[in-house]
Structures are given as structure tokens and as C-alpha cells.
Amino acid sequence: MRTYANPVIGGFHPDPSVCRVGADHYLVCSSFEYFPGVPLFHSRDLVHWRQIGNVLDRPGQLVLPDGVPASAGIYAPTIRHPDGRFYVITTEVGGRGNFIVTSERPEGPWSDPVPVGLPGIDPDLAWDEDGSCWCAVAGVQVARIDPATGAVLEGPLPVWSGTGLQHPEAPHLYRIGAWWYPMLAEGGTAHGHSVSIARARSPRGPYEPAPANPILSHRSTDLPIQCTGHADLVSAPDGTWWMLLLGTRPRGYFPHFHVLGRETFLTPVEWVHGWPRVGPVRERHPAPAAWHPVEPPPERDDFDTADPAQYWISPRRRPEGSWSLQERPGWLTLTATGNSLDRAGHTFLGRRQQHPDCRVVVRMDPGSGRGGLSVRMDEAHHYDIEVSGGAVSVLARIGPLRQCLARQHVPPGEVTLAIGIRTTGVLPPTVSAADRAADDALGVRPGGPDTITFSLGGPTPVTLAELDGRYLSTQIATGFTGRVIGMYATEGSVAFDWFEYEPAAGSPA
């Protein structure tokens, strides 16, 4: 039997929403403080996804000033295709609130935002049989709106607030047969996360909750996938039903740490007596009938295109003049817009860490500038390997502390920098002292999720430092995002010949 592995989209890709158009599926995720916003994926089988763009890819669509904190910005988009046109509705937290963008093609171009006169977060769109558009927001409230203008025509109406757990949010409203179903997340987006559902004959209600609520939760279990919730339903062309949802893969010793953020998982759905039934989300499931593998993104970017690849993201903005692929053909040139990664406004171009075990290598020409590679959670939590003034340094920013942990002189010219990440886990008492020391850079039991190694490349690579990865985790940094590994400049201009991201052999997706 063919099976697929979860997650189907690894790394910081939370709050998935999906729609089907014929045999094609389209999926969007939250992007928070990063630009471009709302990554957009395509799949023919719900398992193999390829990023085909970003919905908010123009500065006029997404303006996130430096004052927007980490984990604010773009929350919980919903994608729908009701009338031959694509609609995405989302919330800009700390900015414009709810808005809609539209496009005739999923690849874009997408329209400028149309504000929706409805408070709340996590908005959803659904259409009834007479063409009226209904918008649901966390709470759960619904309102009839004009999607062309964002005007509220009726409501908002409080219809159903879940089973009583905290933070009823992420509502999706479906018209399936003769029933309307609001499905929501509740219990908070941590270990208490869950999915619940109700139904009514009208979008206005009254709604009856499912007798088996929550229909999905991994709380108080030892399953390797945790925090399951914020789900969306979709039917495949063969009539089967599926759920896309977020979850985490914790590692290390209690209380466990997840470092990749909340990822996108897929699980099958059955309908029993008019209600969806969802089993636990497993690391492997029987595959959908359709099977259309796609080419994975390249492991190496040689910067020989006119624009950055779609997976490159930057905190809040990417102003013109901060980057160039033409100034030095075949190289990415970054020019500093701020003098520190510890404050917003710096120049950074990164990609999500998508595998628990991986390696990143770049070839860099620092010139007379300052820059390097960074593993980033936010401005207060990042590890960096930096070249400046004829030396390579390893720097750590953890909360209020900032320290240089290693420094080595290098000759002028190009240099190769490498970051390796390997999971560590909890070593049992039977492990020998020698083996324990070999896997422990800090002299304490390696109870964190992974070890991050910083190296200077060349004919004989030199390891400069090994750091505990727990300090770049959600449990320490807090927030809703995951690790992003990228290139930066904090003084002058620096150039990168290539960037290589390589999952470790056998590393889960």
C-alpha cells in the first residue's frame, strides 16, 4: 500500500487553508511579520506541494513598518474559488485588520487589498445558493458581506462559540449538502489545541454541535505530532475527504521544544451520520488515490535569476536598494539598511528551516562590509556566523544577552560558511560517558531539541562553535513562527555566490 509522510509541508507553514478547482488544489498559510506574505502552493494529490507564488508580493499590498513586532502581521488566510475567481481573505494584525484580495489565476497578479468592515481575526468566506457571501470570524460570528467592497450587509451574528474551551478561532464555514457546518479551533494553539464542528440548515443558525466534539485533538497523548488544530476540509476528485491542519513535532527533554514552527499536516476524513470523523494524525497514512509527485525545490540557489526565488522571505519588508541580483551577475548582493539583527530594519533574506536535520552552506564575499548567515526566530533570538574586519565570529543573541562565542581570523576575499543542525534528543542512562560527551557541546545532558554547529569551510573545515538549539525554539522565544535561516548585511554591502540548503539523509520532511 502506498503511504505518504507527514508533514506534507514542513517548516513554518501554519494555519493552512485549501480549495480545489477541478483536479488542482491550492493552499495558503500564515506569514506573520515576513515579506512577501501568504505563500501559495499547488498540488494534484494533496501530498506533494509546490510553491507557485506569494499572494502579497508587492509593497503596496503589504506594508509592515518596523514597529510591527515579531509574530504580528498576516494571520490565518482563507482561500476560496466560488465563481471562477480566487479569493483570499486574511487579517493584518497591528495594521489594516481584515481584507480581501482576488485574482483570476492563482499565480497572480493579485489585486490590491479591499478592507472588510468586520472586526476579529481568522476570517473565512463561504457562498450560499443565491450567491450571497458570508464571512465568519473568530468567536464565532458570521456576517453577510459584499466581497467586492468589503461592506457588511447583515450582522455580525453570534452563531456558535465552540464547546467552551479557550480561544475559539480559525472558523471555516462550509455548505455541504443541505447543511451548513462551522468548524473551528479551540483550546489554544499549543498542546490543548483541538478541532470542533457544528451544523445548521442556515448560515444564521441555530447550530447544533457534533456529539463527538472535539473531532480532533492530540492533547494529553504521547503522539509524536502535537498541537493539532486550525484545520480546513477539502474533497478530492474521487469523492474522498481530507483535512489540512497545523501541528508541531516536539523534540528533546521535558517540556519538549519545537523549533520549525507549526507545520502543515494531512489526514483522511470519513463522514458518519452527517458528521466528519477524523482519526489521530499519524506520521504515515495511506495515500490518496491520486499520486502526482513534483520536483522538490532546488537545494542550491546560484542567484542566476532576475528576482529572488519565491521561498525567500525578509522580516517586514525588502526595500529596493537593499538587494540586487544584477549588480554582480550570478551573485546576490545585500546592502545594509540597519546595523544590527537585534533591531527591526535590517537587511535579511532567508528561507524556512523545513527539516529537523539539515545543513546550510554559502559562499560569501564580505568585501569591506559586515554580514553572514543567521538562524533566526526574532530580533531577540538568533545565532549568527559573521564575517567582518578579516575575522569570522559566532554570535548568540538570547533574550537580553548577546555574546561572541568564537572568533577566527581569515585572509581577505571569499569565504565559505556552514551551519549544521542535528537532532539530539534525550540520551538514556545506558549511554557511555564517551558517547555522551561526543554529542554534548555544553557539558550538560543534551535535553534540547538539536545542536547547531557553525563552521568555516575550505579544504579542511573548521568547527567554530556548537550551540544548544533550545534557545531558538517557540518554548523559549515564544510567538507563532519558526526558524528561518538566511543571509544578512549589517554594514556596507556583502555578496553571496550561492546558498545551499541540504536535508540530512533520512531526515523526515
Cβ 257 vs Cβ 447: under 8 Å: no
All cell numbers assigned to 356: 529537523
Cα–Cα distance between 182 and 164 in angstroms, integer? 15
Instruction: Give the number of other Cβ atoms within 10 Å of residue 171's Cβ.
Output: 28
Q: What pairing do the DSSP bridges indicate for beta strands 86-93 and 97-103?
A: antiparallel
Residues 6+ apart with CB under 8 A from 492: 335, 336, 367, 368, 369, 370
Cβ 484 vs Cβ 358: under 8 Å: no
Cβ 483 vs Cβ 260: under 8 Å: yes
All cell numbers assigned to 478: 515564544
Give catalytic status of residue 169 as yes or no. yes
Give which of 101, 86, 98, 78 is closest to 17, Cα–Cα.
78
Q: Give residue for cell 540597519.
A: 338
Angle made by CA atoms 245, 250, 255, in degrees to the nearest 5: 125
Give catalytic status of residue 327 as yes or no. no
33, 169, 301, 384: which is the annotated catalytic residue? Answer: 169
Which residues does residue 382 pair with via DSSP β-bridges, in sequence order? 376, 397
Q: What pairing do the DSSP bridges indicate for beta strands 415-423 and 314-315?
A: unpaired
**DSSP-derived secondary structure letter, 469:** G
Exposure string over 51-70, b if 16+ CB within 10 A, otherwise e? bebbbbbeeebbbbeeebeb
Give which of 356, 506, 509 is closest to 47, Cα–Cα.
509
Burial of 170 (0-12, 13-18, 19+ CB in 10 A): buried
Cβ 193 vs Cβ 187: under 8 Å: yes
All cell numbers assigned to 333: 548582493
Which residues does residue 273 pair with via DSSP β-bridges, in sequence order? none
ω into 82 cis (within 30 of 0): no
Catalytic site positions? 15, 169
